[in-house]
Amino acid sequence: MARKPDAGARDRILDVASQLFAEHGVHAVGLQQIIDACGCGKNLLYREFGSKDDLVVAFLERCRADWASVLRAAEASADSDPGGLLVALVREVVARAVADGFRGCPLRNAYAEFPDPDHPAHQVIVAHYTDRAELLRTLAAQASARDPKDLASRIELLIDGLNANGAVLGPQGAAPAAVTWAEEAVRGATQGRSDVIAGQVPTP
């Protein structure tokens, strides 16, 4: 009798691999370790992922999806206000950066392991940071910042600093001050345009 397809195999393997990659680094984790931890056979793993590189790329794409969830959570609290959304993004990153077990941005952690620009893992990571920077610049422009690129860069550095500082020091580090810094950055970049920041239409 033919074996029934395991519909959840891909997600189960990726769950295990993601946890191991996040805890130990990508290069330190071998496929056999993933197979043993998952309890799946080698053939099943290779059926779902043709190579370790394929599995790593799937892990990194999942990490990009985690950023999308940060964005959705921030949007839910920002009332369609682009300046407020920049601050809300920082607030959401703070919440994650000070959580128990946080080890830093897994995309940034993996970047050091894949310096070759032609490697698909490297390309996924660069695409994430490029897309994130573009989003922040768009929000800064929508908030009528005098220099959207500068404001976006400030928020970007806050987010990256949170991921590094929070992973080491948690709530005892600099993370709690980040939201105030973000508010000051947005206020300073859009000063005199409070009508736009609040999402109101200015009176002609």
Give the pLDDT score at 80.
75
Give the pLDDT score at 156.
97
Can you tell me the distance from the alpha carbon of 17 to that of 52, in angstroms, rounded to the nearest whole number? 10
Identify the CA nearest to 80 among candidates 191, 194, 199: 199
Give the pLDDT score at 191.
85
- CB 91 within 8 Å of CB 155: no
Q: What are the residue boundaries of the structural domains of the chain, listed by start?
A: 9-50, 52-197
Neighbours of 198 (CB within 10 A): 11
Radius of gyration of the chain (CA): 20
Low-confidence ranges of the chain (pLDDT < 50): 1-5, 195-204
Give the pLDDT score at 197.
41
Give the pLDDT score at 3.
46
Give the CA dihedral 126, 148, 81, 162, nearest 10 degrees.
50
Give the pLDDT score at 28.
96
- CB 87 within 8 Å of CB 197: no
49-64 per-position pLDDT tens digit: 999 999 999 999 999 9
Domain 52-197 is classified in which CATH homologous superfamily?
Tetracycline Repressor, domain 2 (1.10.357.10)
77-90 per-position pLDDT tens digit: 887 789 999 999 99
Neighbours of 177 (CB within 10 A): 11
CATH number of the domain at 9-50, please?
1.10.10.60
Q: Give the per-residue SS3 of the chain.
A: CCCCCCCCHHHHHHHHHHHHHHHHCCCCCCHHHHHHHHCCCHHHHHHHCCCHHHHHHHHHHHHHHHHHHHHHHHHHHHCCCHHHHHHHHHHHHHHHHCCCCCCCCHHHHHHCCCCCCCCHHHHHHHHHHHHHHHHHHHHHHHCCCCCHHHHHHHHHHHHHHHHHHHHHHHHHCCHHHHHHHHHHHHHHHCCCCHHHHCCCCCCC
User: 36-51: buried (b, 16+ CB within 10 Å) or exposed (e) per residue?
Assistant: eebebeeebbeebbee
Q: How far apart are the first and last CA of the chain?
A: 76
